[in-house]
Amino acid sequence: MVLPSRARLDKGQRSGSLFRMRGEIWRMRVKTVIIDDEQPICDEIEYLLKQHIDIDVAAKFTNPLEALEYISEQGCDLVFADIKMPGMSGLELARRLSVLRATPLVVFITAFQEHALEAFDTPAVGYITKPIMEDKLARLMSKVRCLIERTYQAGRPAVSKICVTTGGKIIPLDKNEIVLAYVKDKDVFVRTKTSEYMATLTLQEIENILDGSNFLRVHRQYIVNLDMVREIIPWFHGSYLLRMDDCRQEEVPVSRARTKVLKNILGLK
């Protein structure tokens, strides 16, 4: 049967939604289902997963057939499944889940180390042995996050525009038009060679979009287009000021922490 969970999601809520998190602007919220024929094990795993802010335990099942039906209809990102269960083994459950259009990651729960070897013949991300140790679960969850985030990033369409506002209008700017972006009094601004605009995104979100381009976060308040640097001016403690080719020829400070990165990119000694 399905067991109640305080973190259970509404029926219509899709998996893989995004949320704000301190220290990281966007993080996948991982919709998780726990399946074990022992209710105390389900409860224990749910308790340990509550230590991870990005994990939503959507449902717990003691019956793997009911779990399969739920996941087929509702979908999820991650499944914890006991290997030995009456009615259907966790191994068989994982094989059936692997044919779904949106295949969740599977973590096996086992009381026996030898059963872990069987996990490698299935589309499982890993296994965890009983009794469940918090530190081992934490390491496994780090691996899960990397896999889910990699899948999410691979499926995201490439973004080549940054939206800005002026006169009540929203204007999409091409990346190549941007000279710099900066924060002032909690507002974010974007400058081109001829104009300045207020951005509709946070500086972190802009950095994420510009990642992999000729842009560098040289200071916690500034992102610059390295192709738009007019002059590099030596400054205090071996750092630099960057005179930019924007409409105001802004002098942007490079933080001490980012000076080494800038030097490596530009070949400075």
Q: Evaluate whether 3 touches 38 at the Cβ level (below 8 Å).
A: no
The number of CA neighbours under 13 Å toward the Cβ of 182 is 20
Report d(CA 65, CA 72) in Å as an integer.
Answer: 11
CATH class of 2-155: alpha beta
Characterize the bridge pairing of strands 126-129 and 105-110. parallel
At 60, list the tokens: 């717990």
Report d(CA 132, CA 109) in Å as an integer.
Answer: 9
The string of pLDDT tens digits covering residues 199-213 is 988 898 888 888 766
pLDDT confidence band for 2 (50 / 70 / 90): very low
Report d(CA 222, CA 43) in Å as an integer.
Answer: 46
Q: CA angle 139-129-52, nearest 5°?
A: 35
pLDDT confidence band for 1 (50 / 70 / 90): very low
Greater pLDDT, 121 or 144:
144
The string of pLDDT tens digits covering residues 27-48 is 457 899 999 999 999 999 999 9
| Interval 108-132 mean pLDDT | 69
Q: Range(s) for CATH 3.40.50.2300 in the chain?
A: 2-155
Report d(CA 53, CA 65) in Å as an integer.
Answer: 29
Nearest to residue 80, comparing CAs of 114, 51, 38?
Answer: 38
0.85 cut: is pTM over it? no
Greater pLDDT, 115 or 135:
135
Report d(CA 96, CA 60) in Å as an integer.
Answer: 18
**Structure confidence at residue 131 (pLDDT):** 86
77: pLDDT strictly greater than 80: yes
Percent of residues, the chain, with pLDDT higher than 70:
80
Per-residue DSSP letter, 133: P
Amino acid at site 90: G
Overall fold of domain 165-266 = OB fold (Dihydrolipoamide Acetyltransferase, E2P) (2.40.50)
The string of pLDDT tens digits covering residues 228-238 is 999 999 988 88
120: pLDDT strictly greater than 60: no
3: pLDDT strictly greater than 70: no
Q: Range(s) for CATH 2.40.50.1020 in the chain?
A: 165-266
CA distance between the termini of the chain: 66
